[in-house]
Structure 1
Amino acid sequence: MRKITFYISIICIIGLGSCTSYTTDKEIRTSIEKDIAYLADDKLEGRAIGTEGEQLAAEYIAAAFKKYGLEPKGTDGYMQPFNVKKATNPHEEAVIGDAEGGITGRNVVGYIDNGAENTVVIGAHFDHLGYGEEGSLYRGDKAIHNGADDNASGTAAMIQLARILKNKGKDKNYLFMAFSGEENGLWGSNYFSKNSTIDLGSVDYMINIDMVGRMNEEKTLAINGVGTSPVWMDKIEAANTDTLKLVTSESGIGPSDHTSFYLQDLPVLHFFTGQHEDYHRPSDDANKINYHGIVKVVRLIERLVLSLDQEEKIAFTKTKDESGDSPRFTVSLGVVPDYLYDGQGMRIDGVSEDKPAQKAGMQKGDIVMKLGDSTIVDMMSYMRALAAFQLGDETKVEFKRGEELKTVDIKF
């Protein structure tokens, strides 16, 4: 056995055959832990776009791309700087472009050029909320929002996929991107999709990795965008050799960076392990990450991508914008829904302080079965029920806690 290993090593060294190095799960996990520890450290002060912390994070990602042999594919080395002039009133939109002034953000872009006709884009946003001035759900004193799950987890996973595919994927080119400005409105991916450093016509599909650090005990993984190509479901199911519990949705539109590519008529997928009570709060820290779960996500994406490596460019399918069907509501229970729950009712994944649910004694894990006169069967029926109420209204909530059915009074 030692002689065989020795001869294989010699063949690899002198180039008489093709040898692929294998990255172990342990190596992947160790690197992910290191990357998240850095990106979600207080010294980066929450990685808000346009800050020193965002720049430090971008430089760290660029160094990782260089380490794993990716070519620079930004407009300034690995960087693609862009400027944003924020809206001055609620009726305007931010202006994203090259004009002077405003906020300067930067995407980080690395490329594996295999001389192929088609290119696969794999991306993750790396920015977060800084001290929580905008977008935070925290109501305490000013505090750093480290965003370990959102989205140091996706960024670390994306870096490991670059490491793996540099040695494995040979029949397509691979573009890896860390986007900035996602938290403000998909600014970085929007800019890239309209100022691409490659021909978007050559792009086969785009994979977006956003918040993959909190896989639950049921090993649930949400994959959005499965309707954007007819090949997705069969390929995903074949790649799911770890038998993760997959929750899928068809729409290519969603509150993350895959949307920018879907709007360019490209097949997309968004990988997500679910929202939680630390979402957009200072408590989203590295010590709460499920690192084993991230490795599972990386391996599934690896298998999926490699299953398409030698195939023709996949077909694009337009999907219904499911977000357009969402009812509008002006009140809230003050809970974080468990978006991965597929049972009857709406399961609570977190409860906000001093909000109606918390005041009524509701807890994480409770399953809302009835709100007022409306029976709750899923998230959509829950949102429709909320839409019937106004600030100051009073009603009853019926919910399950374990096997016990409870009813409480609430006031919005």
Structure 2
Amino acid sequence: MKKCLLTGICALGLLVNAHAQDTLPSAKRIQQTVNYLASDKLKGRGTAEKGSTTASNFVAKQFRKLGLQPVNSGSYFQDFTFDRNAHKSIPSRNVIGFLDNGAARTIVIGAHYDHLGTAGLFDGKYPVGQIHNGADDNASGVAGLLELARYYTKNAQKEPFNFLFIAFGGEELGLQGSKFYTNNPLQPLANVHFMLNMDMIGRYNPERGIGIGGFGSAQEWPEVFKGVTQPGIKFFTDAAGKGASDHHNFYMHQVPVLFFHTGGHDDYHKPTDDAPKLQAQSEESIINLEIQLINRAMEIPLIHYTEVK
């Protein structure tokens, strides 16, 4: 009987440990996500190209698997069109999933899923016809988005905030997805606790560390960051709320923001930004750092937007 009891306790412990491992960010899963999104099959996820639609369908499928709710009349998609130079009515869409914790306020987690594709919409700025796979930019950010969605949906503890996970389209053509969303929000922007954006978080340079922008966009950020450390990860902060990624449009609508970015590299916007160059283990640690900051920010009932002078 004693042996059976001990066996049962051990089995329960293994189940709990397995659940914890499934919940925590995983370098293996991150690499698998980037391998798919940055594969030649998707041809660079270019806006208005087939690969972009395939990528958006993939994200929606992951949202559904994780149990996130669609918030746009039963759809995970928010379709829109935009004009760019001579190109008119370019189609794209955001992918949106909601974790409803019954709270009054919501945290927005975002990353853009599009990249340059075969560069047909960039008026000769990049080599037309060549596949730009965009492993770091921004399959890495989408992998982070899905890891955070997994962590907060599978966490047994009900958080005091809701979560809205958004994979933005059309970012490379002028932050179009976040521009459309903030002009046509599916939930009131006044109820957003803060917005966290990930754009290029897969090429960690230990000499530089990861930059975290938006530090000046809320008066509570210094308190949230105080004493936060993550083994193997060095980070620095930047006050700017504006910037060349999707957090910019939330900041312009007076939403506090945080922007995670591991910096530029020689493969930026080139056909050589491929999945084997991803540093998945470092990205796992970066996401764990983000979880620390998100959890600390949830200890504060209201984060106050401040304009960065």
Whether these two folds match at TM > 0.5 is: yes
3-state SS of paired residue (2:284):
helix
2:103 counterpart residue number: 116
Q: Does 1:104 align with 2:102?
A: no
Distance in 2 of aligned mates of 1:274 and 1:251 = 15
> Cα–Cα, structure 1 residues 219 and 28, in superposed 2: closer, same or farther, change >3 Å?
farther
| Structure-to-structure mapping, 1:116-135, within 5 angstroms | 116-134=103-121
**Aligned residue for 2:233?**
244
Cα distance change, pair 50–138 in 1 and its aligned pair in 2 (3 A): closer
1:81-230 pair list within 5 angstroms: 81-88=79-86, 102-134=89-121, 142-168=129-155, 170-218=159-207, 220-230=209-219
Question: Is the counterpart of residue 278 in structure 1 residue 267 in structure 2?
Answer: yes
Letter in 2 for 1:87: N
Relative to structure 1, is the Cα distance of residues 155 and 114 closer, same or farther in structure 2, using a 3 angstrom cutoff?
Answer: same
Sequence identity percentage: 37
Are the aligned partners of 2:233 and 2:282 in contact in 1 as well (CA < 8 Å)?
A: no
Shift of 1:184: 0.4
Instruction: State how far apart, in whole Å, the 1-side matches of 2:254 and 2:25 are.
Output: 36
Change in CA separation of 1:319 and 1:77 when aligned onto 2, cut-off 3 Å:
same
After TM superposition, give the deviation of residue 219 of structure 1 in Å: 6.7
Q: Give the Cα separation in 1 of the matches to 2:68 and 2:228.
A: 25
Which string of whole-angstrom CA distances, capped at 9 and with x for unpartnered residues, describes residues 353-386 of structure 1? xxxxxxxxxxxxxxxxxxxxxxxxxxxxxxxxxx
CA distance in 2, matches of 1:75, 1:45: 30
Q: Secondary structure at the match of 1:102?
A: strand
CA contact (8 A) 1:136 1:281 kept: no
8 Å CA contact 2:232–2:285 kept in 1: the answer is no
The 3-state SS of whatever aligns with 1:171 is coil
Of the structure 1 ranges 296-305 and 205-214, higher mean CA displacement relative to structure 2 is found in 296-305
Question: Hey, what's the Cα distance between the residues in 1 that align with 2:22 and 2:205?
Answer: 23
The gaps in structure 1 that reach 5 residues or longer are 13-18, 89-93, 95-100, 321-412
**TM superposition shift of 1:23:** 3.4
Provide structure 2 residue ranges, at least 5 long, that are not aligned to the other structure: 1-5
The alignment status of 1:318 with 2:307, answered yes or no, reads yes
Instruction: Report the number of matched residues.
Output: 302
* Structure 1 equivalent of residue 29 of structure 2: 31
User: Contact 1:20/1:167 (CA < 8 Å) preserved in 2?
Assistant: no
Out of 303, 308, 321, which is 2:292 matched to?
Answer: 303
Q: Is the 8 A contact 2:27 2:281 kept in 1?
A: yes
Q: Tell which has more relative contact order, 1 or 2 (C-alpha 8 A, sep 6+).
A: 2
**Cα shift at 1:291:** 0.5
Would you tell me which structure has more helix in proportion to its own residues?
2
Q: 1:141 to 1:263 in 2, by over 3 A?
A: closer
Amino acid aligned to 1:120: I
Do residues 232 (structure 1) and 221 (structure 2) align? yes
- 2:77 corresponds to: 79
Change (3 A) 1:201 1:21: farther
C-alpha separation between the residues in 1 aligned to 2:135 and 2:13?
A: 41
C-alpha change, 1:120 and 1:286, in structure 2 (3 Å) is: same
2:246 match:
257
Misfit runs of 4+, over 3 Å: 1-10, 23-27, 133-142
Q: Max radius of gyration: which structure?
A: 1
| RMSD of Structure 2 on Structure 1 (CA) | 2.6
What residue is the counterpart of 2:3 in the other structure?
none
- Residue 50 of structure 2 is matched in structure 1 by 52
1:245-286 C-alpha deviation (Å, 9 max, x unpaired): 222210100000000100110100100001000000000000
- 3-state SS of the aligned residue for 2:196? strand
CA distance in 1, matches of 2:302, 2:219: 12
- Give the CA deviation at 1:200: 1.4
Superposition deviation, residue 137 in structure 1: 9.6
1:332-371 equivalent positions in 2, closer than 5 A: none
| Deviation, structure 1 residue 4 | 3.5
CA distance in structure 1 between the partners assigned to 2:26 and 2:243 by the alignment? 28
Secondary structure at 1:57 match in 2:
helix
Question: TM-score scaled to structure 1, two decimals?
Answer: 0.68
Structure 2 vs 1, CA of residues 183 and 7 (structure 1 numbering), >3 Å: closer, same or farther?
Answer: closer
CA distance in 1, matches of 2:117, 2:8: 55
Distance 1:5 1:196, change over 3 A: farther
Report how far residue 230 of structure 1 moved.
1.9
Does the CA-based 8 Å contact 2:25-2:284 persist in structure 1?
no
| CA distance 1:51–1:247, change in 2 (3 Å) | same
- Whichever residue aligns with residue 295 of structure 1, its letter is E
